[in-house]
């Protein structure tokens, strides 16, 4: 059992102090991807260009459309291009960019959805390469499976919140957590999220102690219930 601040403003938006986690997202990641085009003079006509930046911009926009389509179908996910830049040693005002560097993190709550997303990304890349004369080098790949929270523990926590009069909701985790490793090892695992303002991993995290005490009360209830069982 892990109690953690929520790392998105969903609970703040809902006006609720607590959430019971439904799942921890799996992911696939490319930390050091590149697009290879061709450096050229700024006056080169469009039909001759192999512009790595325009290819990267199109790739980002296509991924965003793919994300929007999945969310419209009720299939939550997230994509992040955390690194997104040209080579500062070679780029310039009067130079068509010949190389681009980026990282990509894609996460979702369903392993089949992740596989579908990666296939969709491959189709996008193939189309851009064909039309723009560039080559994507995705580099090393890392991944993690979805962390599935134990259904019976989740149900008991929802029941406990109701018994204690604690307003709560169920919510998928927006971030990865150590609890996912326990779930992957076959250990029954659950998480609770506490309302938190101003994001996470920064000095401005803002959790009310009253909300924390509600989480502590629910945790104590669950422990007592298990001890009695």
Q: Above 80 in pLDDT, residue 227? A: no
pLDDT-based confidence at 229, cuts 50/70/90? low
Element spanning 11, H or E: helix 10-14
Residue 71 pLDDT: 96
Strand partners, 173: none
What are the tens digits of pLDDT across the range 6-49?
988 999 999 999 999 999 999 999 999 999 999 999 999 999 99
Residue 206 pLDDT: 84
The 3-state DSSP composition of the chain as helix, strand, coil percent (nearest 5) reads: 40, 25, 35
User: Averaged over 86-112, what is the pLDDT?
Assistant: 97
User: Averaged over 91-114, what is the pLDDT?
Assistant: 97
Residue 223 pLDDT: 94
Question: How far, in whole angstroms, is CA 153 from its chain's centroid?
Answer: 24
Domains and their CATH numbers in the chain: 2-25+146-228 (3.40.630.10), 27-144 (3.30.70.360)
SS3 at position 53: helix
What are the tens digits of pLDDT across the range 171-212?
999 888 889 999 999 999 999 999 998 878 788 888 899 999
Among 97, 59, 98, 108, CA closest to 81: 59
User: Averaged over 79-90, what is the pLDDT?
Assistant: 97
User: Averaged over 135-158, what is the pLDDT?
Assistant: 96
Q: Give CA separation, 220 vs 6, 35, 227, in Å.
A: 20, 52, 10
User: Averaged over 104-124, what is the pLDDT?
Assistant: 97
Residue 199 pLDDT: 78
Q: Which residue has the tokens 């990267």?
A: 56
How, if at all, do strands 18-21 and 168-171 pair? parallel
Average pLDDT, the chain: 95
Percent of the chain with pLDDT over 70: 99
User: Averaged over 157-161, what is the pLDDT?
Assistant: 97
Contact 24, 173 (CB under 8 A): yes
Contact 79, 64 (CB under 8 A): yes
Element spanning 219, H or E: helix 209-228
């Amino acid at each position: 059992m892990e109690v953690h601040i929520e790392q998105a403003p969903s609970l703040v938006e809902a006006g609720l102090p607590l959430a019971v986690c439904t799942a921890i997202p799996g992911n696939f990641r490319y930390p050091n991807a590149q697009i290879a085009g061709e450096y050229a003079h700024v006056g080169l006509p469009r039909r001759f260009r192999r512009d790595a930046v325009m290819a990267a911009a199109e790739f980002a926009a296509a991924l965003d459309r793919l994300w929007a389509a999945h969310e419209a179908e009720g299939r939550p996910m997230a994509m992040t291009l955390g690194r997104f830049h040209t080579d500062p040693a070679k780029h310039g005002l009067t130079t068509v960019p010949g190389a681009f560097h980026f990282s990509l993190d894609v996460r979702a709550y369903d392993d089949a959805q992740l596989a579908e997303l990666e296939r969709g990304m491959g189709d996008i890349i193939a189309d851009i390469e064909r039309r723009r004369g560039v080559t994507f080098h995705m580099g090393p790949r890392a991944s993690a499976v979805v962390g599935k929270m134990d259904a019976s523990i989740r149900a008991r926590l929802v029941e406990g919140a109701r018994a204690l009069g604690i307003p709560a909701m169920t919510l998928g985790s927006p971030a990865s957590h150590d609890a996912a490793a326990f779930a992957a090892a076959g250990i029954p695992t659950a998480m609770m999220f506490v309302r938190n303002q101003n994001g996470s991993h920064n000095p401005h995290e803002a959790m009310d102690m009253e909300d924390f005490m509600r989480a502590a009360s629910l945790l104590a209830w669950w422990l007592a219930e298990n001890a009695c069982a």
